[in-house]
A and B are shown apart, each in its own frame.
Chain A
Amino acid sequence: MSELFDILLSASFWAAAIRIASPLIFAAMGELICERAGVLNLGIEGIMVVGAFAGWMAVYSGMGLWPGVAVALASGMAFGLLHATLTVPFGLSQHVVGLGITLLATSATYYAYRIALPQVNTPPKIDAFDPYAIPGLSDLPLVGEALFTQTPLTYAAFVTAALVAFVLFRTPLGLAIRACGENPAAVAAQGLPVTGLRMGAVIVGSGLMAVGGAFLTMSAFDSFFFEMVNGRGWICIALVVFGAWRPGKTLLGAVLFAAFDALQIRLQQTELGAVLPYQAFLAAPYILSILALVVMSRRAQVPAALMVPFRKGER
């Protein structure tokens, strides 16, 4: 038991949790924007794979790190455009399109990888983002190391979450996006473009998902593996529900999940690890997430028009 407290009080544990949370924050914010506009984006898992590859490949072929992030963003937006075109103006099933995008994006990445690096067995490494200690703040005890000695991309994740919250809840654009997810007919009745707003939300949201993927290859690690996204996209969909479609709560959920994940790695190395099989530790964050989801999302307000295509003139 005392070991558990030691872990929970160590700065390195929280630093790891924040690091693990970062890609989840980017991708979950992306999903949140899409769903607030009324579009469920199940392409998230595949779009994260694309982002992870595109960002890493861009840097490997000689671009800078930030231009690499921009390339990842653009790659996600391209798949977002495809998703948005099929689900918004064409009004196709968001489930089928989303899963299709995930399959397409994953396979296209595999194909691109083989074309780009035909002879390679071990994927090459890049010079990834280095941690940047924020002057002053990083000297604080505990939180200094946990929060303010991260890579710039982690800081960007938190800034993104704040920005998403501001735009959605404090600007006319955000109001229009939320109204699209609640009652698109009300938006159309004001002469605002429902199709444009929804497509824009999906495209920008998909871009953020891809940046979340890129975090894995450009900040958490320095190389690209196919299994590296490993269900994080699906976790983000659960996180949005957990956060009741609110950016703040969703961010909190991401940190909480990441903390569970960081904790199970460390608990495996304690004497508990000798008693329980390691699979139990790996499953723990997911089981806890499901429990938290059950408790937290009971009173959540689902966007009323989520997954409801809008066709002008229909009731």
Chain B
Amino acid sequence: MTEGFGETVLRLADITVRFGPVTANEGVSLELRRGEVVALLGENGAGKTTLMNVLFGLYAADEGSVELFGQSLPPGNPRAALEAGVGMVHQHFTLAENLTVLDNIALGTRSLWSPVSGTRALRARVRALAEEYGLRVDPDATVANLTVGQRQRVEILKALVRDARILILDEPTAVLTPQESLDLFATLRRAVANGLSILFISHKLHEVEAVSDRVVVLRHGRVVAEAATAQTSRAEMARLMVGADIAAPAPRPARPGPVRVALRDVTTPARGTATGLRGVSMELRAGQVTGLVGVSGNGQTALAGLIAGLERPERGTLEIDGKTPAVWTPRTAVRAGIGRIPEDRHGEGTVGDFDLTENAMMELYSRWPFSRAGWIDRTSARAWAQKIIKRYDVRCPGPEAPIRLLSGGNMQKLILGRVMETAPDVILANQPVRGLDIGALTYVHEQLLAARDRGAAILLISEDLDEVIALSDVIHVLSEGRLSPGFERGTMTPTELGAWMTGAGFEDAA
């Protein structure tokens, strides 16, 4: 199955990992050969990340063994994995943002007790590797000022500087623009040509198809299939990954209604590292999903804040149902019929230590029947929470349980229910499916489309281009605070949208 590649560099044998009663990996075996790209495919919670953490020595396996270049690896020791030549690019980057690129790369390359840092030699080496692998990045830049794509390059350089022979990439394209993804694939091809081996973790099937030589599918912690990429298909991989045929929601054609929210040439100030909006005009119509894509940090926070009532225009006007509100705060936004699914469900969407009842009535507590003559009516509140729990299938111990005990998907279902049950005219859905598995994700998407068909105006903000393309009737791209024109469904390819995301579309249009 793996002819044409070199010797086996990595062998995982019968790995089993348990966290208390939960089995994350069960009897997983995997081989990687020199010069080979193996894709590890699976849903959220399938055990991909756990397996990689075992390989990297962050977790110790309960059973089974890891063999690198024919040597068995002592468990639970990241240092040993590093020294054996394993480089890992985590999904959440492990960079210190206030330090420079060079400092981040230098960390751990020399003995702590070495009297000198050896930065000069390292800088030259970083430049040479960056040149060789097409990883453009300024070694003296502060990481906080880099884009997500550049940060990923720093992570890969970190591995290359340490003479990694095996690269593990955990969902590397989740946060990249299509162009950045293509650059990454080019880098990976050069690495493979130099004899490195790559384990590529993803759930994006077209990428797996594009870069990998072999696919290993994990489901519920077990290997359910293994095949040469050339001998399988996307549909086959999707079926193996989920364990059943899945149908993405197929939206009916939209019937756009009146304009609910309009921005006219709106500019907002930059806040800290968050970009403000620069002369943005857009309309959110009833019965229509307006999608917004862009690399994070290009003004999404400002736009979402504007519609949620957290931000006011510095210049330009915001109109709700044709009128400019005199006062614009989160409270007036809720009163105006704007339902909000915030980006950060732990930080802004919920209060972790409050129970489900309190979280369910958080935006409504001051209204009848939850507030009667200034007193909270727990009975009505609990009934409301129970209704949401039942109708939106929130798996929880009960309405009195603190919400932090819930999984991300169930927490999001509660937020979704809380918004949907008030039948809002406008729904602000900011990264509504981030971190959710395919079941919860499909459910959230179906609910949003149902709300659209009922006549709600929906603004969908996401970094996932595929998600936005699938759901939106009109797509805008945000880049450095500027907004592209609205593109109708089906008129733009991901690559064309990607050009707008990098700002190129704006220059061509200008």
* Interface membership of B231, Cβ < 8 A: no
Tell me if B96 and A173 are in contact (CB < 8 A).
no
Question: What residue of chain B has the Cβ atom nearest to residue A180's Cβ?
Answer: B96
Q: What's the minimum C-beta distance from B56 to chain A, rounded to whole angstroms?
A: 8
* Interface membership of B94, Cβ < 8 A: yes
* Interface membership of B496, Cβ < 8 A: no
Say whether, besides A186-B104, A190-B107, A179 and B99 are in contact (CB < 8 Å): yes
Which among B114-122, B331-339, B399-407 touches the partner chain?
A: B114-122
* Interface membership of B77, Cβ < 8 A: yes
Give the bracket for the number of chain B residues in contact with chain A: 20 to 34
* Interface membership of A170, Cβ < 8 A: yes
Tell me if B111 and A172 are in contact (CB < 8 A).
yes
Chain B residues near A190 (CB, 8 Å)? Answer: 78-79, 82, 107-108
Tell me if A313 and B107 are in contact (CB < 8 A).
no
* Interface membership of A303, Cβ < 8 A: yes
* Interface membership of B123, Cβ < 8 A: no
Main secondary structure of the interface of A (DSSP, over half): helix
Chain A residues near B116 (CB, 8 Å)? Answer: 170-171
* Interface membership of A261, Cβ < 8 A: no
Say whether, besides A171-B115, A185-B94, A304-B97, A191 and B103 are in contact (CB < 8 Å): no
Q: Which of A185, A186, A315 has the most B CB atoms < 10 Å from its CB?
A: A186
User: Complex Cα distance A178/B113, Å?
Assistant: 15
User: Complex Cα distance A315/B97, Å?
Assistant: 16
Q: Which of A178, A190, A192 has the most B CB atoms < 10 Å from its CB?
A: A190
Q: Mark B335-379, 1 if CB is under 8 A from A, else 0.
A: 000000000000000000000000000000000000000000000
Chain B residues near A188 (CB, 8 Å)? Answer: 78, 94
Question: What residue of chain B has the Cβ atom nearest to residue A187's Cβ?
Answer: B107
Q: Mark out the residues of chain A between 104 and 129 whose CB falls within 8 Å of any chain B CB in the assembled complex.
A: none
Q: Mark out the residues of chain A between 293 and 315 whose CB falls within 8 Å of any chain B CB in the assembled complex.
A: 301, 303-304, 313, 315
Interface residue from B92, B94, B113 paired with A173 (Cβ < 8 Å): B113
Chain A residues near B90 (CB, 8 Å)? Answer: 189
User: Complex Cα distance A185/B78, Å?
Assistant: 12
* Interface membership of A229, Cβ < 8 A: no
User: Complex Cα distance A185/B239, Å?
Assistant: 36
User: Complex Cα distance A165/B191, Å?
Assistant: 39
Main secondary structure of the interface of B (DSSP, over half): loop
Chain A residues near B69 (CB, 8 Å)? Answer: none
Chain A residues near B109 (CB, 8 Å)? Answer: 172
Chain B residues near A313 (CB, 8 Å)? Answer: 58-59
Q: What's the minimum C-beta distance from B54 to chain A, rounded to whole angstroms?
A: 12
* Interface membership of A176, Cβ < 8 A: yes
User: Complex Cα distance A186/B82, Å?
Assistant: 13
Tell me if B107 and A176 are in contact (CB < 8 A).
yes
Say whether, besides A172-B110, A176-B108, A183 and B82 are in contact (CB < 8 Å): no
User: Complex Cα distance A188/B92, Å?
Assistant: 14
Tell me if A191 and B78 are in contact (CB < 8 A).
yes
Chain A residues near B73 (CB, 8 Å)? Answer: none
User: Complex Cα distance A192/B58, Å?
Assistant: 12
Tell me if A172 and B95 are in contact (CB < 8 A).
no
Chain A residues near B438 (CB, 8 Å)? Answer: none
Tell me if A183 and B95 are in contact (CB < 8 A).
yes
Q: Mark out the residues of chain A between 176 and 212 whose CB falls within 8 Å of any chain B CB in the assembled complex.
A: 176, 178-179, 182-183, 185-192
Tell me if A182 and B113 are in contact (CB < 8 A).
no
Tell me if A172 and B106 are in contact (CB < 8 A).
yes
* Interface membership of B250, Cβ < 8 A: no
Chain A residues near B247 (CB, 8 Å)? Answer: none
Tell me if A172 and B112 are in contact (CB < 8 A).
yes
* Interface membership of A175, Cβ < 8 A: yes
Q: What's the minimum C-beta distance from A24 to chain B, rounded to whole angstroms?
A: 25
User: Complex Cα distance A268/B366, Å?
Assistant: 59
User: Complex Cα distance A304/B143, Å?
Assistant: 13
Say whether, besides A172-B106, A176-B107, A179-B107, A186 and B114 are in contact (CB < 8 Å): no
User: Complex Cα distance A178/B98, Å?
Assistant: 10
12 A-B pairs whose Cβ atoms sit less than 8 Å apart in the complex = A175-B99, A176-B108, A176-B112, A178-B96, A178-B99, A183-B97, A187-B108, A189-B90, A191-B77, A191-B80, A304-B96, A304-B97
Interface set of B (CB-CB < 8 Å, partner A): 57-59, 77-80, 82, 88, 90, 92, 94-99, 103-104, 106-117
For the complex with contacts A176-B112, A304-B96, 7 further pairs of A-B residues with Cβ separation under 8 Å are A175-B107, A179-B104, A182-B97, A186-B94, A189-B90, A303-B98, A313-B58
What are the nearest 8 A-B pairs in CB distance? A190-B108, A191-B79, A182-B96, A186-B94, A183-B96, A191-B78, A189-B94, A172-B110
